[in-house]
A = this chain, B = another copy of it.
Amino acid sequence: MAKRKAVSIKDVARESNASLTTVSLVLNNRDGRISSATRERVLSAVERLGYRPSRLAQSLQSQRSGFLGILVPQLRHAFADVYFGELISAIQETAAEHDYKIILDVANPRYLERNHHLELFRRHYIDGLLCLGVTNNDTYLADFGEGQPVIVVNNRVQDVDLDFVQCNYVEAGRIAATHLCELGHRHIGYIHGATEVQTTSDLRHGFEEILQRFDISLPPSHFEDGLYTEEGGADAAIALLKRDPSITAIFSGNDKMAIGAISGLKRIGKRVPEEVSVIGCDDVHQSEFCDPPLTTIHTPIFDVGARACTMLLDLISSKQETVRETKDVSLTVRNSTAAPQTGRNGSPQ
């Protein structure tokens, strides 16, 4: 199939009776050194031959790949998660605006064991890396060093001194707690996600801070792990209400689990929000379309992704030395929360 060889700068040089160097200078507008006559000659040859410089050769020479990496953890189907998807959309869009392309990697055990994360830089795959969904267990993050720009997106890592852009999850916890308390709830369940995620703790700290202020106790029996999945959320909600039927409100660490929780509550015949209020966290798109529409903490995920990408580019071009940003969150009230029913239905006071 004689896949005819790609045209190179040499071909252009020959075609235009100019030297290799001249062609390069013209193409890169290296100051007016070249006469407009030769410039035209070169340009027309480029046009005629349909020449486009090889990005491989360019990268080799410039020692810049023009790629940004996105590293996500190994989950069921990581990319089918709207939370990650939203971040990736934001990152891709921002990167494209700056003529960078995105490459996608999944940090599974095999990957890490083979040090593929280090190869990303050492073998010049990428110029910078964005890490999504990291946990405090991800010790490999400590492997990155000098000249390897890395930003942790919407999280932090406890023991590793890495740059990050995140939402204020402590505040998110406070807002959620305040909302429930002010509605009058006193028996509250808490569905959390993986505890090794830093923002999971942040959220809980903020939440408990406010509960204490309202003098409400949150016994261990009111906590349940929802695994950050719908199924987990459903199971957790059911477990919580079985263990303590007086619970009138549930805070879920993310919307996914909250939606699962609503589905679980319905399954055991509890009406939302009449009998049990549910509040989530994230404000993903579909929260508007579950039944009832979910009250949740709005976190500016898209902005965080875009900002992280911009900052990464600044790190790469040495416009920044270090990045540490925390974005504000807010309450989005829909219909899954209400004041608790007084009297009859349980609620032993």
Contacts and interface: CB of A to CB of B under 8 A. Distances in A.
A93 B78 CA distance: 10
Given A54-B60, A55-B125, A79-B86, A92 B119 contact: no
Given A86-B77, A259-B289, A3 B146 contact: yes
A59 interface: yes
Q: Tell me whether chain A's interface is mostly helix, strand or loop, or mixed.
A: helix
Nearest to A97: B110
Contacts of A124: 6, 54-56
Interface string A250-277: 0000000001101100100000000000
Nearest to A51: B122
Interface in A67-93: 67, 77-82, 84-86, 88-90, 92-93
A260 B289 CA distance: 6
Interface residues of A, number: 56
Contact of A285 (B80, B84, B88, B302): B80
Interface string A129-163: 00000000000000000110000000000000000
Contacts of A89: 77-80
A17 interface: no
Interface string A239-253: 000000000000000
Interface of A: 1, 3, 6, 52-57, 59-60, 65, 67, 77-82, 84-86, 88-90, 92-93, 96, 101-106, 111, 119, 122-125, 146-147, 230, 234, 259-260, 262-263, 266, 285-286, 288-291, 302
9 contacts: A56-B56, A77-B89, A79-B86, A80-B88, A93-B106, A101-B103, A104-B104, A259-B289, A263-B291
